Structure 1
Amino acid sequence: MAQVPNSASAAMPAGADGKNYLVPLAILTSLFFMWGFLTVLNDILIPYLKNVFNLNYTQALLIQFCFFTAYGVCSIPAGNIVKKLGYQRGIVVGLTIAAIGCFMFILAANMLAYPVFLGALFVLAAGITLLQVSANPYVALLGPSETAPRRLTLTQAFNSLGAVLGPIVGATLILGAMADASAGADAVKMPYARLGGALLILAVIFMFVKLPKINDGDSSEGSYGDAMKFKHLVLGVIAIFLYVGAEVSIGSLIINFLGESHISGMDEEAAARYVTFYWTGALIGRFVGVALMLVVAGNIMLFVNAIMATILLAVVVLFDGMVAGWAMVGVGLFNSLMFPTIFSLAIAKLGPLASRGSGLLCTAIIGGAFIPLLQGYMADTIGLQISFILPALCYVYIAFYGLRGWQPKGPGLNQ
């Protein structure tokens, strides 16, 4: 099996100029933490707002649909903003927009209007989209290209740390209020107001902190059409679409799945702990993955992890009780390095088109809108447990990408 180049040296990022970029990398990890925290709170909002507004699965998963649709709508404009303003200013704008989205939750709770919640989620995600388009390629460029998968995996580990803490906070502050029927949607006000304030503080910090200026080449003449001539990028876009869709679907439905009588019959607040376990697996896997990729090629790691996720979802579909519950939680461990590895493999060899490729890859995060909505429809029609066939099929494709689809193919490259 062919492998991507992999260096066993220099885990710390250093550029061609010999500079060590450890400090700016450490500063950037705060962004990965924040958007991990904010994104996983949707897993808590789904059962909470499902109860407040008496929604079915399809209606409740409109939460993820509106959140991740922002990636599809905003990623290419965000790429243009980054090209015009630069990575650092793009980060400041993204943080400000995300903060506005958080503050809109207060309005939505006061109005007790589900559509306003969905609008707030869209605005929040639009800001996060700009952060993704700015930060992911910036981290990839902070050092040699052959170590980019390890750098992205390391920063994504802090994304997972945010995802681990998010359900703990959400379960305590949001789901804990479900016992009080008079609370309505008010339980979301305080958490999102504080998060909005934290995002504004980060925006001020990034406005004044000195970060190295990274030049990914003059792409003024490049277009998204030019980027799509690279086959490994196009296949990577599909892989990101399916990966995010599968990961979001599973995280969104863990609480409801564990509440099924033939699985465990847990109440929402108790089941929320297992969302934390799901994301803890991703956190552990990313730190382990950084070490393993010193000796194992990223594409092979991707292939193995996708196969393991597929096997675990087969257990979810075929078995009852906590065997199925723990199998679902275990998928988080094997999700761990998929996004950063697919991302870095897909933008390899793009040269000055790297930012265009990044925009296309971030657009593909819209998979988090469509795959969960489709699974919600399947859950309403054929049953929640059997609906997990859908994310299993997503991982089959990701295994293919790790096996063959990652190989760079495009203009000027060996075919």
Structure 2
Amino acid sequence: MQVTNQIGDQHEVPAEEGTEKKYLLPFILITSLFFLWGMAHNLDSILIPHLKKACELNNRQSTLIDTSVFLAYFIMAIPAGMLIKRFGYKNSIIIGLLVFASGAFLFVPAANTQTYELFLFALFVIGCGLTILETSANPYAAILGPPESSSNRLNLAASFNGLAAMVAPIVGSLFILSGKTHTPEQMAAMPEAEKLAFLAGEAASVKMPYIVLGTVLILVAILFYFMHLPAMKPQHTEVEVKPGFFSVLKYSHLSWAVVAQFFYVGAQVCITSFFIRIAEKGAGLDEKTAAYYLGIYGFLFMSGRFIGTFFLKFVKDYVLLSIYCVASVVLCLIAIYGTGIVVIYALGGIGFFMSIMFPTIFSLGLVGLKSNTETGSSWLVMSIIGGAILPYGMGTLIDMKHDDIQAGYIIPLVCFLFILFFLLVLHNVKTVEN
């Protein structure tokens, strides 16, 4: 059986027949989750340079912010899949929102004590909540409607994740970043009392945004509790033997999609985590202006999602994504070897072209899994561990290159090359051995 871009008829369909309008409100609610976890992830791009300054970290230490969040994905992916099977999509979403909110509120004691380890723990808790949400919402968005439009539906929902990529840097610039930067020499020469006051002020600025975020999450959880979401049941009637958690990897397209997703998430996190730093060092921008350009990057990312979703109606998903991948490789080379503001433009272009990679790879990986979709979804979410490992490697490389931020972008370049190989060679495989 050749890989096709269908999900819904291979797993679940609405328990009751009806028009797509019946599922409009549930789809809108699910889409709101994509925006919320997009806010969390894109605020990390602000936190990395901010806490690097507030907690006096090097590049490698600052990437532990990414490691904390994405390590949670790896650890929680299997329990999240089990949670869905035990309690269903709706209850799992509510649990995910409450865990997410708990992590957001932990930013208050972390800021009050100026403890970097507590910040990391708070981010780990947030990551656990995000894992539950993504493991629930991605397949639910895919199966909430006609199977032939599953990829379009998933990309449409993910477009609001792109909206968050534009909004989060603006929020971070207004409420988190102070615009005050000092060189190590200036910090060393600063009177101790003034230095402590500066660091305390930098740490405290994160409290209000995360209190607001946690409050919104609680309100959304309450809304989900009182709203009706369509129950889902299997469409197929034949007896199907479910493979175990590791046995599902016999679907080779899923195995390679997991690897491709590992590299994609690693590339995306690498690019955004060091965006402000490369804007400061490569283009000579201050941190608030750099955050403004990060917001433009988010706008291009969002635009890419909407435009990509439109083109997916006319172009096969793996063909469109292959074109986008080639463009990302070229722009990554410009980011490495270019100078001045052109580097920022290249990174903005990458944001546009990698916009549909996650949902499309996710969709390709779930093809043909039927009742094993939850297990496959867990594997694809576990692959997000790439966001914990590759940025740490990039930070280490940058430190080894004496803070040469551009040199570190060779890591996302390699990632895009593998994704291109997956799309051209590895995705079109037999999913069932006859």
Normalising by the residue count of structure 2, what TM-score does the alignment of the two structures yield?
0.89
Give, as a single letter, the amino acid of the residue that structure 1 aligns with 2:145: G
Match of 2:244 in 1: 223
Does 2:286 match 1:284? Answer: no
Partner of 1:345: 364
Aligned twin of 1:210: 228
What is the rounded CA distance, in whole Å, between the counterparts of 1:285 and 1:14 in structure 2?
30
* 1:3 and 1:297 in contact (8 A); partners too: no
- CA displacement 1:27-73 (0-9 Å, x = unmatched): 11110110001110000001111011111100001100111111001
1:44-63 aligned within 5 A: 44-63=46-65
| Matched position secondary structure for 1:215 | strand
Shift of 1:356: 0.3
In 2: Cα distance, 1:70 partner to 1:408 partner: 31
Cross-structure match for 2:17: 17
Instruction: Determine the C-alpha separation between the residues in 2 that align with 1:400 and 1:16.
Output: 41
Indicate the residue corresponding to 1:197 in structure 2: 215
Q: Kindly indicate whether the alpha-carbon contact (under 8 Å) linking 1:66 and 1:121 is maintained by their aligned counterparts in 2.
A: yes
Residue 402 and residue 15 in structure 1: after superposition, are their counterparts in 2 closer, same or farther (change >3 A)?
A: farther
1:184 is the counterpart of 2:202: yes
Contact 1:105–1:117, Cα closer than 8 Å, also in 2: yes
Quote the Cα distance in structure 1 between the aligned partners of 2:148 and 2:16: 12
Query: One-letter code of the match for 2:109?
Result: L
Among 250, 255, 260, the residue aligned to 1:239:
260
> How far apart in 2 are the matches of 1:305 and 1:14?
33
- Name the CA distance, whole Å, in 2 between partners of 1:125 and 1:245: 15
Pairing of 1:331-410 with structure 2 (within 5 A): 331-382=350-401, 383-410=404-431
Query: Any stretches of 5+ residues in structure 2 without a counterpart?
Result: 7-12, 182-196
Note the alpha carbon deviations across 1:153-211, whole angstroms, 9 max, x for none.
10000111112101100111000374782513100111101110100111111111101
Q: Deviations over 1:6-40 (max 9, x none)?
A: 9xxxxxx9999343122211111110110001110
Letter of the aligned partner of 2:213 in structure 1?
L
Residue of structure 1 equivalent to 2:66: 64
Instruction: Verify the 8 A CA contact 1:316 1:327 in the aligned structure 2.
Output: yes
- Show the counterpart of 1:302: 321
Deviations 1:256-287 (A, max 9, x none): 00111xx2211111101111111111100111
Q: Which residue matches 1:256? A: 277
Q: In the alignment, what sits opposite 1:272?
A: 291
Q: 1:15 to 1:332 in 2, by over 3 A?
A: farther
Q: CA deviation at 1:294?
A: 0.8
Equivalent position of 2:104 in the other structure: 102
Q: Which residue of 1 aligns with 2:189?
A: none
* Structure 1 residue identity aligned to 2:268: E
For 2:392 and 2:241, the matched residues in 1 are separated by 37
| Aligned amino acid, residue 306 of structure 2 | F
Structure-1 residue corresponding to 2:194: none
1:131 partner letter: L
Q: 1:376 to 1:156 in 2, by over 3 A?
A: same
Instruction: Find the aligned partners of 2:251 and 2:413 in 1 and give their Cα distance.
Output: 27
Distance 2:16 2:406 in 1: 51
Tell me the distance in 2 between the aligned counterparts of 1:216 and 1:252: 41
In 2: Cα distance, 1:59 partner to 1:220 partner: 46
- Check conservation: 2:165, 2:298, Cα contact below 8 A: yes
Deviation readout 1:281-312 (Å, 9 max, x if unpaired): 11001111111011100011111111110110
What is the match of residue 122 of structure 1? 124
Which residue of the partner structure matches residue 10 of structure 1? none
SS at 2:171's partner residue?
helix
Q: Name which of 78, 87, 90 aligns with 1:88.
A: 90
- Alpha-carbon separation, structure 1, partners of 2:174 and 2:350: 24
Distance in 2 between the 1:46 and 1:275 partners?
A: 13
> What do the CA deviations read for 1:64-106 (whole angstroms, capped 9, x no partner)?
0111111001111111111100011000000000000000000
Are 2:347 and 1:328 aligned? Answer: yes
Larger relative contact order, structure 1 or 2 (CA cutoff 8 Å, min sep 6) = 2
1:77 aligns with 2:79: yes
Distance 1:84 1:137, change over 3 A: same
What amino acid sits opposite 2:135 in the alignment?
V
CA contact (8 A) 2:4 2:367 kept: no
| Alignment-mate amino acid for residue 65 of structure 1 | T
1:171 aligned partner, one-letter code: S
CA RMSD of aligned residues (A): 2.0
* 1:203 partner amino acid: A
Aligned-partner residue type, residue 189 of structure 1: K
Pick closer, same or farther for the CA change 1:303–1:15 going to 2, 3 Å.
Answer: farther
Number of equivalent positions: 404
Report SS of the residue matched to 1:175.
coil
SS of the residue aligned with 2:229?
coil
User: Which runs of 5 or more structure 1 residues have no equivalent in the other structure?
Assistant: 7-12
- The residue aligned with 2:10 is none
CA distance 1:212–1:15, shift in 2 (3 Å):
closer
User: TM (normalized to structure 1)?
Assistant: 0.93
Is the 1:232–1:406 contact (alpha carbons within 8 Å) kept by the matching residues of 2? yes
